[in-house]
Structure 1
Amino acid sequence: MTSQSARPWRDLTDPRRASTTDDLEAGLKEPEFENLSIPEDLGTVPVVVDDHKIKRFAFTQDDHSPWHLESSPFGGQRVGHAALLGNDLVQLFTRVYAASKVVGYHTEEQMWFDSPAVLDEVVTLSGTYTEAYQRRGEGYVVMEARATGEDGRSVVRHRGVEILKTNPGAIGGRGSARPERRVSGTVPDDARVVDTVDAGVRVGDALAPLHKTVTAEQAAVFSRVGEYVRNIHNDIDLARAGGLRVPIVQGQQQFGVLAQLLTLRFGAPFLTSGWLRVKFLAPLEVFEPFVSTGVVTEVTEVDDGLRVEAEVWVRRVSDGRLMTAGWASATVPAS
């Protein structure tokens, strides 16, 4: 591991520079569709997975698993949560574009989980804008990014789609991100509810649900308030300027909840063979209770075990509305 004195900061930017820098976003481009240059290199940045980063994520997700805070099945080491680096990858573009001027809308997220990041490891993040297009009057941009461990191994890979600048209050829930393979978001009445996906898994099994409420404090910390970034997730004035009544939970934060659900149900294999792709269908306000779950759709024998596929989703408790929907898979031992 890199020595303490030489370690980089834990985030994309070091907020301590505010003591000597007036404009933290000086030289960055306006986040406008017309300013995109495809393909566009979003840079490479080292990030240390330190104790604070892990504990902070545990707070924002309300995920205090001993794997992250004490020891894990990976040689007894403390490891980062499956989606710990997800928002760092999503936000890589803010090293080129002014983060506090972004009023975007994350429409799709996809991650491949290849290996867990270990406590005090320095991971390298890199990303590129690979595609841009317009649909229904909105400008979309596609990012592909990855996190690489100190030994060169892949930790996670990311592909995301975002409307770069919009009015989230106007577009949220209008169906622009409807999945092409529709996820029903319902559990059959006769489904077997399972806490653990193992060799006995069957098509139709329902994943034991995970109930959550993301507070304004959790959303603000997740959405980089500690780096002095202001956005519709951590600032009520910016949320209202974007047509919202209160801040909304970042789509990537909901993605992290689904990754937690899948880690709980699949166990360690999810951190080494997992895949999760979701579409964000409607904004979720802070303080709104929601529940995440899923249903197993396919079980296939592969060389190293059973490849289990599932539909997963997030529903708002108050009215049952489907907020996020998608697909997941991982390989579990066959015995």
Structure 2
Amino acid sequence: MMVYFVLMGLFIMAAPRVFTGYRIYMSFLQTVPPQLVLALGLTLVITAGEIDLSFSAVIAFSGFVFSYIFLTFGTPWIAFFLALASGALVGFINGLLIAKIGVPSIMCTLASQFFWNGLTILLCGGLSWNIKAIKSHFIHPLFVGRIGGLVPAQSLWSLGLAVLLWFILNRHKFGESILFIGDNPDVARVMGVNVETTKIKLFTLNGLIAGFAAVLLTLEMINFWTTQGAGFLLPVMAAVFIGGTSIAGGQGSIVGSFFGAYIIGSLEAGVVASGIGGYWTRLVSGLVMGASVTLNVVLGKTKEKRFIEKLRSSVFVKGFFKQEKQYVHN
């Protein structure tokens, strides 16, 4: 969060005419939500000590399902729910292979990405489809309309999802199980967590969330194309790690991923508006990501050190060790 506001401050100083107006922020609220939604789902997966590389393929596959059903039958709501179901199906299959068979998640989801991308291209013949007719249906303004003629609706949907997933991760038994598994699966089993079932549910949920992101993107662009989502993999992962989620698992931040997605989404516009040149975007992104992750690690170690010092200085711990020494002496 701190990195986001520092970055916005730098952009305001570098390009005050652009970043003191509201239009640039409305643009972010329009373009960032699909990647933000993906980052929120991926946060849960990485917190559990796993990885999912297939979400970019779900963007294409679920986008295809949504567009095909709508163009064929003219039923946007059936298309919507089938798109969500198709994403959940991809996640469910991933979860089965990972949890039940023991395939490493990085290999399983990488293979899944190639498979579902290839299947999407085969099914649509490599063609792009225009779904402009969907603008006359209520589903379009509901998900990607402009509230008050200004605020993109998808920004509120992504915010609502962030709040929901925050409660799941921090206030629900399912989130508690995810944290236990990410910290140590064996200990999680001892604590009564069904690790295999939880992982299947987790990957299914992530697929469902990716399907929702696909619908948002397809509705906003009013088009389906076979490579949609192809460039999302690295930015989404960067958003999660910038937000402070540990790659080792056991620690995740929904709030951090929320701001991380907006950091990644605003970098290119900020760099170009500052007059540096668009070809600097990747370099600046790398610097920001490196600085953010380093800062999170340093702050995490500082908090851990303070906690240990407080624990050692506590009356309870001192009394405990005093009793232990007396017991050994006797």
TM-score by length of 1: 0.27
Q: Which has the higher strand share?
A: 1
Q: Which has the larger radius of gyration?
A: 2
